[in-house]
Structure 1
Amino acid sequence: MDFFKDIIIWLITIAYSALLIYTTIRILLENETQTSRTAIYLYAIWILPVVGFLVYYATGTNRRKQKIYGAKRILDEKQHREIVKIFQNSQKTVADFEKKFPKFSGLIRLFSHEIISSDNNHVEILINGDEKFEKLKKDLLQAKNHIHLEYYIFESDQIGSEIIEILIQKSRQGVQVRFLYDALGSRYLSGKMIEKMKNAGVEIFPFFELKPWNFLNRINYRNHRKIVVIDGTVGYVGGINVSDLYVNTIPTHRYGRDTHLKIEGKSVWDLQRIFLYDWNFSSEQNLDFDTQFFPDDSGKIYGKALVDITASGPDSSYPNILYSLLTGMALAQKEMLITTPYFVPNLSFLDTLKIAVLSGKKVKLLVPKTYDSKIIELTTQSFFDALLDAGVEIFQYKKGFVHAKTIVYDREVSVVGTANLDNRSFDLNFEVNATVYDADFSQKLAKEFEKDLQDSEKIDPETWKNRPFFRKLLGKILNLFAPLM
C-alpha cells in the first residue's frame, strides 16, 4: 500500500515540476517587455501552488500569440485590404495631413498603415447620457439601410428598453440591424429582450460568450468598445454605455459624468471597419465590405475635422492605443488635460507624464473622488505621490462618478474613447479611441474639462502626504499588483 502511495506522490511531484518548469519558460517568453508583470507571475507560481497557476492562466497568458486571436488578426488584415481599395480614391495622403498639423505629424503617421484618416468630418461633443441618447435615438429612427451597435454594457433598464424598441421598429421596417454585445459586461441584458429582438429580425450575437470550459481563456479579454454606425455615415464612440447609470434624468444612486462623440463623415468608415471585423469574428459570418456599408458620398462635405480611429486589443500586433497616447504626450509642447476614471498606468505611461511636467509642460489629471471599487481607488491613489512630486496637478471630481476618457493636447488635438489609463485597456481589452485634430473642437473639450474642475477639488501635495498611514500602506501593497489590473 505504501509502495503505491509513494508512486502516486512521485508521479504528482514529477507532473507538478514539469508544469512549473513549462509555465516558467512560458512566462519568460511571453512577457519579455513587461518585467514587473513577469516577476509577479513568477512569484505567484513558485510561492502559491495551484493559486498561482490559476492567476497566471486566467490573467497572464499573451493572447496575441494564441490561435484564436491570430486567426482574427489574419481575417481583419484581409478585410482591411478590401476597405482600402474602396477608400483609396477619396482620401488625401498622410503627407497632406502632416503638412496641416506639423507638430503632431508623428502621431498622424504612427498607424497610418492601419487607420483610414480623413479630414472630412463633423464631430460633436456629447456630455453625459442625456445628450447622447437624445441624439442617438433620433439618428436611429432616421436609419434607412443599416444600424450597427457594439457595446460593452447594454442593460435591460429604461434607456436600454427604449433603444431596443427602436431597433425592433427599424428592423420591422426593413433596416438591417446588427447588435454585438460583450457577454460579461452585458450580463444584465435579459434573455427575454434578446429573444424579442431576434423575433423581430434583429441579428444579435455575444462577443466571447462565457462557458465553463472557456471561462479562464476569455474572462479577462473583454470587448470594452462602444460603437454605433448608422448607414455608414453617422457614428458614435466614447465612454457611455447603455445603462440608466449614464442618464442623470433617470433617478439612480449616483450622478454620472461622461463624454461621447457623434461623428458624421468619412472617419465613420473606420468605426464601420472595426465593427465588421468584430461582427464577422463573433458571428462567424463573412459580410462583404461593399458600398452599402461604405457609401459613395465623395462629393459631400461634412466638416473640416481630421479624425483618426485607433483600435487595440489582444488581436492587434501592438498596444496601439498605448503607443498613440505616449506619442501624443511626447509631441504636445504646452499642456495636457487628462480625464480618466481608472488610473493604473504602466511604467512607460507614468514616466512619460513625469517627463512632460519636468520638461515644462502643464499636466492636469482629473479622476473620481469616489470610486466604484475600493481596490481601484487605493491602487489609483498609490500613484499620486510620484505624480505630485513631479508637478502634475491632480483633481478629484466630487459631483458624482466621472467615467469620461479624454485627453486634450495643447488645445489643438484631442482624444475621446473607451480606453482607461490602465493595463487592462492598454493590453487586455478590445478598445477604440478617436483622435480629433481640430483646434475649435479641442477648445470646446478643454472648456468642458474646466467646467469639471469647478466640481472638483485639487489635491494639495503636503496634505496628501499626511493622509492616514493605513491607506498609504494598503495603496503600496496594491501597487505591487498594478501590472495585473
Structure 2
Amino acid sequence: MNLLIAVILIVLVLNATLSFITVFWSKRDVSRIWAWLVVLVFVPVIGFVIYWFAGRRISDKKIFDFTSQEIVGREQIRDNQKYYGHHLHLNQKASMLVELFENNSGSILTYGNDLETFFDGRAFFDDLFAEIDKAKDHIHLAYFAISNDVIGNKLVDLLAKKARQGVGVRVIYDAYGSHGTHLGMYHRLLKAGGTVYPFLTRRFQLLALRINFRFHRKVVVIDGKVGYIGGFNIGDQYLGKSKRFGNWRDSQLKIIGDSVLSLQSRFFIDWNATAKKQDKLSFLEDYFPATQVNGIHPIQIVSSGPDSLTAQIKQGYLKMITLATKSITIQTPYLIPDQPIYESLTIALAAGVKVNIFIPDRPDHPFVYRATQYYAQEFIDFGANVYRYDGGFLHSKLLIIDDEIVSIGSANMDIRSFELSFEANAFIYSSYFAKKIEKQISIDLSKSKLLSKKDFETQGFWMTVLQKFSRLLSPIL
C-alpha cells in the first residue's frame, strides 16, 4: 500500500512539473495558460492526451513556411488603385480602419469592386458552379471543409472536367474540417491534372492530428477575376439537408474587381506554404490580370492566424466596435469574446450605442454553445439586444457598425478564430452595401426571438452550472 501511494505521489508530482513546463514552453495568452494548467494538473495523464490533440502549437518550421513567403501580386494590386485614388474618399472611421490594416497586415485598400451576397446555400452553389464552369485559365479553392457527399463530389467532378479542358485546378482543404475526407476523393481530379493538398500535413498523420490551428478560410479565385469569401463550406448540410441543423443561414460574398487579386495573393501564400516544391506558384500576369471593373465598393481583404503574433482580424473587430457611435450588429455562431472584445462591447453599450447580437438556436459544439449562452446573458445584463435565430442554424460571421462598415468572412466572434485558426475576412467601406445587408438583417429579425433574463432563469440549475463551467474553458474551446 505504501508503495502504491509513493507511485501515485511520484506520478502526480511528475504530472504537475511536466504541466508547468509544457504550458509555459510556448508563448501563450495568460488566460489560456491557466485554462490548460487546470486541465493538465487536475486530469493527470489523460490531460496530456487532450493537450496532444487540442493544445499543441504549430511548429516553428510551419510558421517559417508562412512568414518567409513573398506576398505575390502586391505591386499589381497597388498599380490598379492609381485610377481610383483621386476621386474616391473615405470618411474618418473608414480611414482609421484602413490604416490599421495597412499597418498590421499590409492589406491594400482596393476600390473597383462589385459585390453580390448569398445567404442561402442553393443560390451560392448554383452561382459558384456556374462561374467554375466558365473558367478559362485557373481555379483556386481553399476550404476548411469539403465533404465527401453529393455536393462535394459534384464539385470534384466539375473540377476534373475543367482540368481535362486544360484549366489549372488547385485545391487546399483542411483534413480535420473535412471530416476525414482524404485524397482518395480527389483521385479523378488528380488523374485529370488537378493538384490537391491537405493543409499543412505531415508524413505521419498521427503526429499531425490536432484540433487547433485549423485552416478555417473559405476562398475561391477563378481566372483572377471572380472571387468568393465568407462562411459557406462545401457540403450537403450547407444546402439545408441536415436533419440536425435544418435550414442553413450563412453570409457569402462574390467579388468582381481588384479585391479578387488580394484573395489570389492570400491563396498564393497558403498554397506555397503547403505545396511541394515542384507545385509552388510564382507571379504570372494571368494570375493577376489588370481589372476593368467600375465597382463602387472599397474593400480590404484581411487574414489572420497562428503564423502571426498579431491578431489582425480581432484588432479589426475591436477597432470597429470602438469606432461605432450609433449601432453595432453582430452575427456569430460562437459568441466567446476575449477580454478586450468583451470590454469594448460593454463600453459601447454604456455609451449608448445600440448593440444587436444574433446567435443560433441550437448547438453544433456542446461546450461552445453553452459558453455562448453564458455570454449572451452577460450582454443582456449590460443592455444588448440578443436574438436567437430560429430559422435554422445561423453560421453567419458578420459585423456592421453605424450602417457604414461591414465585415464578412470566416472569423467568428470567439477566441478560437482570433488566435487559433487561419481566417480571412473582407472589410467593406460602403454605406450602400451596409444598408443592403441591413435588409437581410430585418428578415432575420422576423425569424428570431429577442432573449431576456427570464429565458435563462427557467433553464434549470445544471444548465446554469454547465454554462458557467463552459465559460471557464472558453480560452481553449
Q: Fold conserved (TM > 0.5)?
A: yes
SS at match of 2:310: coil
2:74 is aligned to 84
**Matches of 1:264 and 1:392 in 2, distance apart?**
36
1:464 is aligned to 456
1:74 is aligned to 67
**Counterpart pick for 1:287 among 281, 290, 296:** 281
- Displacement after TM superposition at 1:179 (Å): 0.9
For residues 436 and 361 of structure 1, do their structure 2 counterparts lie closer, same or farther at Cα, with a shift above 3 Å needed?
same
SS at match of 1:321: helix
The answer to whether the 8 A contact 1:240-1:260 is kept is: yes
1:392 matched to 2:384? yes
Question: Which string of whole-angstrom CA distances, capped at 9 and with x for unpartnered residues, describes residues 272-301 of structure 1?
Answer: 11111111111123310221211123xx13
2:356 is aligned to 364
- Displacement after TM superposition at 1:347 (Å): 1.6
1:24 is aligned to 20
1:477 is aligned to 469
- Displacement after TM superposition at 1:246 (Å): 1.2
SS at match of 2:289: coil
2:172 is aligned to 180
**Matches of 1:21 and 1:320 in 2, distance apart?**
34
2:46 is aligned to 51
Amino acid of the structure 1 residue aligned with 2:405:
V
**Counterpart pick for 1:121 among 87, 102, 113:** 113
- Displacement after TM superposition at 1:109 (Å): 0.7
1:108 matched to 2:101? no
The answer to whether the 8 A contact 1:119-1:303 is kept is: yes
**Counterpart pick for 2:293 among 291, 294, 301:** 301
1:230 is aligned to 222
- Displacement after TM superposition at 1:130 (Å): 1.1
Amino acid of the structure 2 residue aligned with 1:423:
I
SS at match of 1:44: helix
For residues 252 and 476 of structure 1, do their structure 2 counterparts lie closer, same or farther at Cα, with a shift above 3 Å needed?
closer
Amino acid of the structure 2 residue aligned with 1:421:
M
The answer to whether the 8 A contact 1:385-1:465 is kept is: no
SS at match of 1:73: helix
The answer to whether the 8 A contact 1:307-1:435 is kept is: yes
**Matches of 2:195 and 2:238 in 1, distance apart?**
25
Amino acid of the structure 2 residue aligned with 1:295:
P
- Displacement after TM superposition at 1:302 (Å): 3.6
SS at match of 2:73: helix
**Matches of 2:420 and 2:361 in 1, distance apart?**
26
**Matches of 2:147 and 2:261 in 1, distance apart?**
27
Count of aligned positions: 468
Can you give the 5+ residue segments of structure 1 that lack an aligned partner in the other structure? none
For residues 479 and 96 of structure 1, do their structure 2 counterparts lie closer, same or farther at Cα, with a shift above 3 Å needed?
farther
Where do 1:100-249 residues align within 5 Å? 100-113=90-103, 114-189=106-181, 191-209=183-201, 211-216=204-209, 218-248=210-240
- If the length of structure 2 is used for normalisation, what is the TM-score? 0.91
- If the length of structure 1 is used for normalisation, what is the TM-score? 0.89
Amino acid of the structure 1 residue aligned with 2:456:
W
For residues 171 and 252 of structure 1, do their structure 2 counterparts lie closer, same or farther at Cα, with a shift above 3 Å needed?
farther
The answer to whether the 8 A contact 2:77-2:258 is kept is: no
Amino acid of the structure 1 residue aligned with 2:20:
T
The answer to whether the 8 A contact 1:154-1:188 is kept is: no
Amino acid of the structure 2 residue aligned with 1:35:
V
For residues 97 and 242 of structure 1, do their structure 2 counterparts lie closer, same or farther at Cα, with a shift above 3 Å needed?
farther
For residues 381 and 292 of structure 1, do their structure 2 counterparts lie closer, same or farther at Cα, with a shift above 3 Å needed?
same
SS at match of 2:288: coil
1:411 is aligned to 403
Percent identity, aligned pairs only? 32
SS at match of 2:362: coil
- Displacement after TM superposition at 1:43 (Å): 3.0
SS at match of 1:436: strand
**Counterpart pick for 1:261 among 226, 244, 253:** 253
Amino acid of the structure 2 residue aligned with 1:420:
N
SS at match of 1:344: coil
- Displacement after TM superposition at 1:137 (Å): 1.1
- Displacement after TM superposition at 1:198 (Å): 0.7
**Matches of 1:407 and 1:74 in 2, distance apart?**
28
The answer to whether the 8 A contact 1:31-1:62 is kept is: no
SS at match of 2:330: strand
Q: Aligned Cα RMSD in Å?
A: 2.7
- Displacement after TM superposition at 1:318 (Å): 0.8
The answer to whether the 8 A contact 1:94-1:108 is kept is: no
- Displacement after TM superposition at 1:70 (Å): 2.7
For residues 446 and 61 of structure 1, do their structure 2 counterparts lie closer, same or farther at Cα, with a shift above 3 Å needed?
same
For residues 414 and 75 of structure 1, do their structure 2 counterparts lie closer, same or farther at Cα, with a shift above 3 Å needed?
same
Question: Which string of whole-angstrom CA distances, capped at 9 and with x for unpartnered residues, describes residues 158-205 of structure 1?
Answer: 222222222111111111011111111113536543111111111111
1:276 is aligned to 268
For residues 432 and 468 of structure 1, do their structure 2 counterparts lie closer, same or farther at Cα, with a shift above 3 Å needed?
same
For residues 25 and 106 of structure 1, do their structure 2 counterparts lie closer, same or farther at Cα, with a shift above 3 Å needed?
farther
1:428 matched to 2:420? yes
Greater shift in the superposed pair: 218-227 or 394-403:
218-227
For residues 97 and 429 of structure 1, do their structure 2 counterparts lie closer, same or farther at Cα, with a shift above 3 Å needed?
farther
